[in-house]
Amino acid sequence: MAEALDGALPDDIDDLALKVLQEACDRGLKLVTAESCTGGLLASLLTDIPGCSHAFERGFVTYTDAAKHELLGVDREILERDGAVSERCARAMAAGALARSEGDVALSITGYAEASPDGGPAGLVHFASARQGEPTLHQVRRFGEIGRAEVRLACLRVALGMIRERLIHRPATAA
């Protein structure tokens, strides 16, 4: 059970985080996160569970375009052409996190928790998972205007599910 976040997260998220960390520990794999709209919440959760948080290698919180470029190597062309909330950016974030760490599995999250000033729809979030020697996988979710906190919690569920799937199954092709 998460210690610092105990009571702040729904039980299903806490349970899923524990399963993810146990799977990573059982396989001797290290996890890496690259987060934007969740602001490091996934990394915080993965380091908050006693006994298996050592499976977490590092996290990147890259809220701005500059941070995505500088810390993860996301090409400026992707940020200018497709935007930070896009499939290409999510894939580049996951690949960059893996390349700039000692991790085996990376998960990226980039999206809009609320409607953006430039018209980006509330709840649009792109996720990508990268694993050494395998194609990077992508999912997009449209949670809608459910509120900032609820979007972030929904992101945790999707991200943890993607990581767990990535730890358990070895995909034949990219999605």
Q: Provide, rounded to the nearest whole percent, the portion of the chain with pLDDT above 70.
A: 93
Structural domain including 114 reads: 11-167
Do 112 and 121 form a contact (C-beta atoms < 8 A)?
yes
Which residue is associated with the tokens 């996988």? 137
Q: Between 116 and 92, whose confidence is greater?
A: 92
Listed residue (128, 143, 51, 119) closest to 95, CA to CA: 128
- 56 lies in some domain: yes
- 172 lies in some domain: no
- pLDDT tens profile 97-125: 999 999 999 999 999 999 988 888 999 99
Q: What is the DSSP string of 35-93?
A: ESTTTTHHHHHHTSSTTTGGGEEEEEE--SHHHHHHHH---HHHHHHT-SSSHHHHHHH
Which H or E run contains 160? Answer: helix 148-168
pLDDT, the chain, mean = 93
- Is the per-residue pLDDT at 175 higher than 50? no
The structure's pTM equals: 0.93
- 101 lies in some domain: yes
Give the count of domains, the chain. Answer: 1
State mean pLDDT over 85-94: 98
Neighbouring C-alpha atoms within 13 Å toward the C-beta of 118: 4
- 174 lies in some domain: no
Q: What's the rounded Cα separation, in Å, for the pair 51 and 170?
A: 26
Residues 6+ apart with CB under 8 A from 162: 107, 127, 129, 137, 139
- Is the per-residue pLDDT at 43 higher than 90? yes
- pLDDT tens profile 132-143: 899 999 999 999
Which H or E run contains 99? Answer: helix 87-99
CATH number of the domain within which 103 lies: 3.90.950.20
- Is the per-residue pLDDT at 173 higher than 60? no
- 45 lies in some domain: yes
pLDDT value, residue 170: 63
- 37 lies in some domain: yes
- 73 lies in some domain: yes
The lowest-confidence range among 4-13, 108-117, 148-157 is: 4-13
- 22 lies in some domain: yes
